[in-house]
Amino acid sequence: MSDGVSLPIFAVMVVVFVVLTICIGLYGYKHTRDNQDYLLGRNKSNPVIIALSYGATFLSASAVIGFGGQAAVHGMSMMWLCFLNLFIGMLVAFIIFGKRTRRIGKKLGASTFADLLGKIYKSKGIRAFTAILILVMMPIYCAAVLKGGVNSLAVITGLTEYYDLILLALAIIVGVYVVYGGIIAVMYNDAFQALIMLVGMVVILITTYATLGGVSGATTQLADLWDTGVFDKTGTMPGFNGWTQFSDFGSDEWLLVVTTFLLGVGIGALTQPQLVVRYMSAKDDKTLDKSIIIGTVFIFVIVGAAYTCGSLSNVYFFNEYGQIAFQHVTLGVDFIIPTYITDLFSEVTFGDVFVSLFLMSLLCASISTISALMHTIGAAGGFDLFSILKSRRENRDVDSSSLNVNRIFTAIVMVLVVVYCYFMPSDIIAKATSLFMGMTAAALLPAYVHGLYSKEPSKKAAIWSISVGTLVYLFWALFISQSMSAFLPICKTITGSQVLFDTSIRFVDPLVVALPISILVMAVAVIVYKKRAAVGSSTETA
Amino acid sequence: MAGFFGLTDPYIWGAYVGCILCVVFSIVYYVKVRNSEEDEEDE
């Protein structure tokens, strides 16, 4: 194990980074004249900025550290998540959802995802519910990303005794530029940070292959490592067949990987409020079309590199220490990638520079996502809920135009997120991501699709779908799913055991149950209310 | 069974191929959008 990063080199990089971040923040501040600029910055976003900002927001430290660590445990089957990120998260999202969202959002004058749904359905209730969902669930995701970034930073720099200080510094940097620079600062900083991530991950991928004997050589070693069984297999889940083979269908391993990691995150990307805003910030459809190529390449490089290197880290750790990744890195799955990078580059010329570069990439991955999440949470409270309250007070439909309310709200939430970091369980980065994405998809995806593609969106059907999707997801998450019930151990408090059934069903992610039910309820409700309306109008005619 | 850079399980190398196809599709899509834009300018 190396001694960690070279602090002088890393310090120089951080200073340059902070100066550039502040400059971009100032640019955002100067161009944020009103609430529309703060929330959407519609005319300031070109295809490159939209694509890189979308990619950097989509891929947080969670993708690199959280899911990269999970790839070290569950193997290259995680590459299906990379495929889903590209196919659903980029192609379907931009081509099928993005353009229509932008057009409808512009037509209705919507500024946030909650605002968009509220205006499509002409429902303050739906808008309020979406805003509250964001306010309650997003801080969990945000805290997980923040904690993940700080953990890695503290471990690699060896400054674990300054954990609180690092957490506070990171929160202040993000808080300041989000609060003052709004979406313009967030998106331009995202793009800048995305470039750093890109360089960092390409270097890591090349070094990994160079160290382990080339692409085929490294992969063959990984396959042989499992086949020859030269290590202690204790700790691997039933159904796991090695890092280069897919798990047995229906096994515990299969259920966890496919339902929680692949589907939970793969589908959930479509209803991410912070990503929907990226479509709405585009000037026209062509801007979105042109963004796709950059976003796709970016996501492929970052995610593909993280999952591939995560899996291959087993070969490295075995060659060096005679143990596979999760056995060697006892701190937890979230620490596998940081430990691997630090170790790998300790044997490489200019390794210190590369470790610092990786750390910067990690910092960027965390900051870009946290800033987008903070902006979204701030807008949910300071714009959506405040607008609803204002409308009720003034007894007319009105959207808040107060920049300061947004800013104050964002600052308050940042403080709450920092506090929440101290109460979170460990090894939760990937699972917290899955929880937030799954919850929003189960609750909002059918209503979002119906709202975008129906000529006469049914408000009542949307309310039914949202309510049932939310309730089923929550019940499954709190009482059935082993990984999700860790966030709020209500089942343990009531029954004494973490989940209701101690069978394989505990590995099934709530999304794969709640989303189909939510879709079914939406379809049935649309038909029922349409029939009722038809009967009503024919009775009136008669 | 044919391997793909050392990978023999089609459920694994299929994921890599799927990713590459997505990137190829996005390049084709970009070229198509750019060409249609140039056609509009010519008109």
- Residues A244-278: tens digit of each pLDDT: 999 999 898 998 899 888 887 788 888 888 888 88
Q: Tell me the chain A residues in contact with residue B27 when contact means C-beta distances shorter than 8 Å.
A: 293
Residue of chain A whose Cα is closest to the Cα of B3? A216
Q: Residue A43: its pLDDT value, please?
A: 57
Q: Give yes or no for B15 touching A (CB within 8 A).
A: yes
When pLDDT is averaged across residues A305-314 and rounded to a whole number, the result is 95
pLDDT at A393 exceeding the cut of 90: no
Asked whether the predicted pLDDT for residue A1 surpasses 60, the reply is no
Mean pLDDT for A439-456 is 94
| Whether pLDDT at A472 is above 90 | yes
- Nearest residue of chain A to residue B24 (CA atoms): A293
Residue with tokens 């140039």: B38
B16 touches chain A (CB under 8 A): yes
Question: What chain B residue is nearest to A220 in terms of C-alpha separation?
Answer: B6
Is B38 in CB contact (< 8 Å) with chain A? no
Please write the tens of the pLDDT for every residue from A80-112: 999 999 999 999 999 999 999 999 998 998 889
Q: How far apart are CA A383 and CA A401, in angstroms?
A: 8
Quote the pLDDT of residue A471.
Answer: 95
pLDDT at B2 over 60: no
Instruction: Give the gap in angstroms from C-alpha A72 to the nearest C-alpha of chain B.
Output: 15
> pLDDT tens digits for A33-51?
776 676 666 555 678 888 8
In this complex, the residue of A86, A216, A293 whose CB is nearest that of residue B30 is A293
Q: Which residues of A touch B11 (CB under 8 A)?
A: 77, 245-246
- C-alpha span between A242 and A200 (Å, rounded): 28
Q: Is some CB atom of chain B closer than 8 A to the CB atom of A35?
A: no
C-beta atoms of B12 and A76 within 8 A:
yes
- Chain A residue numbers with beta carbons less than 8 Å from the beta carbon of B23 are 86, 296-297, 300
- Region A438-442 average pLDDT: 91
Chain A nearest CA to B21, separation (Å): 9
* Mean pLDDT of the A360-382 span: 84
Shortest Cα distance, chain B CAs vs residue A218, angstroms: 8
What's chain B's Rg over C-alpha atoms?
17
Is the separation of the CB atoms in A71 and A299 below 8 Å? Answer: no
B28 close to A (CB below 8 A): no
Query: Residue A531 and residue A527: Cα distance in Å, rounded?
Result: 6
The secondary structure of residue A488, as a DSSP letter, is S
At A524, the pLDDT band (50, 70, 90 cuts) reads very high
- Cβ separation A293–B29 shorter than 8 A: yes
> Count of A–B CB contacts within 8 Å?
83
Indicate the DSSP class of residue A349. Answer: T
Q: Is the ipTM of this complex over 0.90?
A: yes
The arithmetic mean of pLDDT across residues A175-184, rounded, is: 78
Q: Which residues of A touch B26 (CB under 8 A)?
A: 90-91, 292-293, 295-297
Pairwise CB contact (< 8 Å): A244 & B12: yes
Cβ atoms of A86 and A325 closer than 8 Å: no
Mean per-residue pLDDT, A165-187: 82
For A138-166, how does the pLDDT look when each residue is reduced to its tens digit (9 = 90+)?
A: 888 888 888 878 887 887 788 878 888 88
Give the minimum alpha-carbon distance from B15 to chain A in angstroms, rounded to a whole number.
5
pLDDT of residue A42: 56
Burial of residue B14, with CB atoms counted within 10 A of its CB: 0-12 exposed, 13-18 middle, 19 or more buried: middle
pLDDT band at A434 (very low <50, low <70, confident <90, very high): confident
**Facing B6 at nearest CB: one of A79, A87, A215:** A215
Q: Is B24 on the interface with A (CB under 8 A)?
A: no
Q: Please give the share of chain A, as a percent, with pLDDT higher than 90.
A: 35
pLDDT at A96: 92
Question: In 3D, which of A266, A258, A284 has the Cα closest to residue A445?
Answer: A266
pLDDT at A2: 45
Helix (H, G, I), strand (E, B) or coil at A507: helix
